[in-house]
Structure 1
Amino acid sequence: MARALPLALGEDEIAWAWSESDAFSLDVSSGTFPCRLVKMSIRTPPRLLELVGRSLLRDQALAVCALEELPMELFPPLFMEAFSRRHCEALKVMVQAWPFPRLPLGSLMKTPCLETFQAVLDGLDALLTQGARLRRKLQVLDLQDVSENFWMVWSEAMARGFLPNATRRRKPARDCPVMRGQQRLTVIIDLCLKSRTLDECLTCLFLWVKQREGLLHLCCKKLKVLGTPLHEIKNILNMVNPECIQETEVNCRWRLPDLAEFTPYLGQMRNLHKLTLSHVDVPRYISPEQKKESVTQFTSQFLKLHHLQKLYMNRVSFLEDHLAQLLSCLKAPLKTLTITNCVLSESDLRHLSQSPSISQLTTLDLSGISLANLSLVPLQLLLEKVAATLEYLDLDDCGIEDSQVNAVLPALSRCFELTTLSLCGNPISMATLENLLSHTIRLNNLRLELYPAPRESYDAYGALCRRRFAQLGAELMGRVKDLRQTKRILFCTACCPRCGHRAFYDLEVNQCSC
């Protein structure tokens, strides 16, 4: 028989432990009514489970003694209480006695506290040195930033005797693609390197990991590089296994030589599924030979990325006339290809349409790429190739004109899986828009359509005539209703030069924010 837990509830807490229905079933014929119970009709009382936790944590020595007999369902709420109130000794022992394979600490660290984080690490030290005699089930310290409600849902579920599906599914063996059996603990973290210096908790973690090399496995599945110096990034990447990384984002205004210095690490991310690269400039002082060497060094890394499915590149200035080189190194078909605000040549477009790696695209975004003076035959061929799979197409602000739209319409009208189509910011006439709408009538899966304001909505100086825009928008919307039933359709202006937002017509004109 389990031993009764020592519990001493205060007078106020006993009052709160009553249910609201109990409060109103009291005999009040005596003319007296306990004032504390009246409060229960004003706010929700804490559950008895919470009161038990608070009572235990008043005496940390008592809490430590009680852990041997503590029911499993009390651990999550008690840990939350100890963490939020910074009961470090209790935290240290609770980590050693943690009865679950995973400790999802990341969702509790919205506002990091070095003192409590160090207490958790101290508890892990006891496990790693096998000095703890309590239950040792903990295998994964999860520092990922999951939903804030995770612990609350978990605690509620445990109190009712079942685990939420998310907890059941997250088994340690599946957490890391390169899990090492000989290591006693896996620490999972998503790294966001966005300042010149690391915060104190991250610095503490890296020092702790470095001093315990061989005892634990540091697994980083998502890496964001947003501003940390390159030498610091390299030091951090030397502590994690790059094969664990599944998503990488680099957005810190690098020059091409900086990217070339980073690329050896990129090639080691052999389980990478998603790569985002933004704001990479080619400096003026670099020679054509140096540029070619750096680009080759970068593109050759893709030969090692057999699991890459999503590729995002924004404001990458070295792509012009080098896209074919990159595409030829892709080892698996892409699901998502986003090349935005870059310069591409007609040759680049041709190689894009011919690449076997894009035949299964579900998302294609070429917004911000100037296509005004290029033949769109390659784009037509590309749409024909991906017609069976393409769900999202964005060609905003490409300078596409009437003749180019008419050239791609036959291919576009066969993209039957398309759910989102965006053509904002292109100088298209009213007549061509009507023709476009008649061609997309068969695309039954379309849920969101974003079209440019007709070219006739602007005056000779390019300024928007709002009354004219409203009139033409109403005509187009009426035309759409005559043709088919839509889920959501908008006619959008060019971006406002002052606020950067678009005005749009959706049954009426909605102004930009300035």
Structure 2
Amino acid sequence: MWPQILPTIILSDAFQRFIRISMWAPPRLLELAGQSLLRDEALAIAALEELPTELFPPLFTVAYAERRSKTLKAMVQSWPFACLPLGSLMKEWQPHQENFQAALNGLDVLLAQEVRPRRWKLQVLDLRKNAHRDFWTIWSGSKASVYSLMEPEATQPMKKRRVDGCRTRGKQPLAPVEVLIDLCLKEGSRDKLLASLIEKVKQKKGLLHLCCKKLKIFSVPMQNIKTILKMVRLDSVQDLEVNCTWKLSTLGKFAPHLGQMGNLRRLLLSHIHMSSYTSLEEEEQCVSQFTSQFLSLHHLQELYLDSISFLKGRLNQVLRCLKSPLETLSITNCLLSESDLTHLSQCPNISQLKDLGLSGVNLTCISFEPLQALLERTSTTLQDLDLDECGIMDSQFTAILPALSHCSQLTTFSFCGNPISMAVLENLLLHTIGLSKLSHVMYPAPLESYEDVEGTLHLGRLAYLHAKLKQMLRDLGRPGMVWFSANPCPHCGDRTFYDPEPILCPCYMPA
């Protein structure tokens, strides 16, 4: 195949050796061929204009492994694919600063030119470590496999872009190069690669676009966050996690950045607390500043709110700003009022929920009607339901069983940490036995399993009651449905699992 596509010109001796070894040796010897060519970097760089497209990936891999900075720089300038997945190489080997800098220098040379070079098709430098993981091994297959993996539409998270064909008519003006990266901002972390990249983006002023699909923010000073996000195209962010212990006022300062993430699909926000020195008027202003940003998030599908102190009595303020149906809603370790749950059950954007989590939300003093209505609204779509540690008691649980039995798509149900009796567990089993897709139920140890009010489990009783539930499943024709108990130890907090034998925390001795 390759001799037919080689240009009819005199090749360098080193390049001819590389071609001969590549053609007749098994794929594992291509690395040796690359090493042979790279013994003289000047010859290797000169040969790039003659090099068939299929040989670029293996030669680039060898050059990266051997830290051939000059060759890497030249190969970036001649890269014949729409995307260069450098991140997966950085994961396999240590992300040597000199290799990364060589790639940036290659971009420097390209972006300094006024017109597009003849062979260059590079549009995306992908620094994500888990993207295109197979690219560097697929090159040994068919030419079509390599090209299909590097189709530009597959590399663009925001919009399709026009790609030059193999036969370019005339000279094309340079388009900006997009650099894709997943960012994790942590206090005290010193990322030399990120610092180099930020500096390069500053220098190129519009010719280098920094795009970030996944963004995680931990405890970092707000000024540092703003400095970095100023360099990022915020409409590229699709997955945002804010795992910070922020005051509500700090969240208000971050809110305008959130509003610019118009393509956001997933948002996780945790540990936002209110300061005792904040006035009610300031508090309302900060909450409004945050919740109004949801009006710009037209593609949001997953929303996770954990330990959010301002949510009680204000959940409707968040829900009414949603612009698209949610597939996942997780509200954990938050205080909610009965009116919050009522608004939730009536929200037009929850009727397509697949995952619902209310773990750690105290429902003890809340009537069952809102939760029952919520289950009825989502009965045709709900797949995973988490009601762990909600303080639900027998009477409330019994009241929602009819609605639960109509959740035809339910696959997983967890309600550990609730004070439920064995009779209610048996009733639950009878109500859910007809749910053909329900495969896993994680239940609390029934009240009859405890030795005392302090929550000490009697493992013998738990084993007997567990065996009773398993027998009921067999008798009802559902032996494959997995029921297992998970209970927090009152002393250390670790969970004791039972399926079918106990997996004990250190505080328990064998029964």
Does the alignment reach a TM-score above 0.5?
yes
* Equivalent residue number for residue 466 of structure 1: 459
Q: Following TM superposition, by how much is the alpha carbon of 1:319 offset from its aligned partner in structure 2, in angstroms? A: 0.5
Q: Would the aligned equivalents of 2:15 and 2:44 in 1 still touch at CA under 8 Å? A: no
- 2:98 aligned partner: 115
5 Å-filtered alignment, 1:100-499, equals: 100-110=81-91, 111-130=94-113, 135-146=119-130, 149-157=133-141, 160-163=142-145, 167-168=149-150, 171=153, 174-177=156-159, 183-460=175-452, 461-497=454-490
5 Å-filtered alignment, 1:22-33, equals: none
Q: Output the aligned Cα RMSD.
A: 2.5
Q: 1:498 Cα shift?
A: 5.4
Given that 2:54 and 2:139 are in contact with CA atoms closer than 8 Å, whether structure 1 keeps it comes out as yes
What whole-Å deviation, never above 9, does each CA across 1:243-296 have from its counterpart, x for those lacking one?
Answer: 221111100211111101000111111111111101111122222222111111
Letter paired with 1:458:
Y
Cα drift, residue 487 of structure 1? 3.8
SS at match of 1:269: coil
277-286 or 478-487, which deviates more: 478-487
Percent identity (aligned): 52
Q: How far did residue 500 of structure 1 move?
A: 3.8
Structure 1 contact 57–82 (Cα < 8 Å) conserved: yes
Q: Which residue is 2:13 aligned to?
A: 6
TM-score by length of 2: 0.88
Are the aligned partners of 2:487 and 2:497 in contact in 1 as well (CA < 8 Å)? no
Q: 2:306 and 2:205 mapped to 1: Cα distance?
A: 38
Post-superposition CA distance 1:150-179 (Å, at most 9, x none)? 24433333xx43316971555267433497
CA 1:166/1:287 → structure 2, altered by over 3 Å: closer, same or farther? farther
- Displacement, 1:390? 0.7
- The secondary structure found in structure 1 opposite 2:182 is strand
For residue 13 of structure 2, what is the amino acid of its counterpart?
P
For 1:458-499, what per-residue CA distance to the aligned partner results, in whole angstroms no more than 9, with x for missing partners?
A: 122211111111111111111121123254523223223555
Asked if residue 62 in structure 1 is aligned to residue 43 in structure 2, the reply is: yes
Q: Is the 8 A contact 2:312 2:336 kept in 1?
A: yes
Q: Which amino acid aligns with 1:60?
A: E
TM-score (norm 1): 0.88
Question: Following the alignment from structure 1 to structure 2, what is the Cα–Cα distance between the partners of residues 263 and 250?
Answer: 12
Match of 2:168 in 1: none
Distance 1:445 1:178 in 2: 38
SS in 1 for 2:119: coil
Q: Tell me the secondary structure at the aligned position of residue 473 of structure 1.
A: helix
- Give the letter aligned to residue 239 of structure 1: M
- Give the stretch that moved more between structures: 399-408 or 287-296: 287-296
**1:490 partner SS:** strand
Q: Provide the C-alpha distance between the structure 1 equivalents of 2:284 and 2:68, rounded to a whole number of angstroms.
A: 58
How far apart, in 2, do the equivalents of 1:165 and 1:466 lie?
60
Q: Secondary structure at the match of 2:427?
A: helix
- Partner residue of 2:166? none
Alpha-carbon shift at residue 222 of structure 1 (Å):
1.7
Distance 1:176 1:482 in 2: 53
Report Cα offsets for 1:369-420 as digits up to 9, x if no partner. 1111211210000100110111111111111111111000000000001111
Structure 1 residue 242 displacement after superposition: 1.5
Q: Out of 147-156 and 221-230, give the one that drifted further.
A: 147-156
Task: Please give the secondary structure, in 2, of the residue aligned with 1:427.
Answer: coil
Q: Structure 1 regions of 5+ residues with no counterpart?
A: 20-45
**1:454 Cα shift?**
1.1
8 Å Cα contact 1:176-1:219 kept in structure 2: no
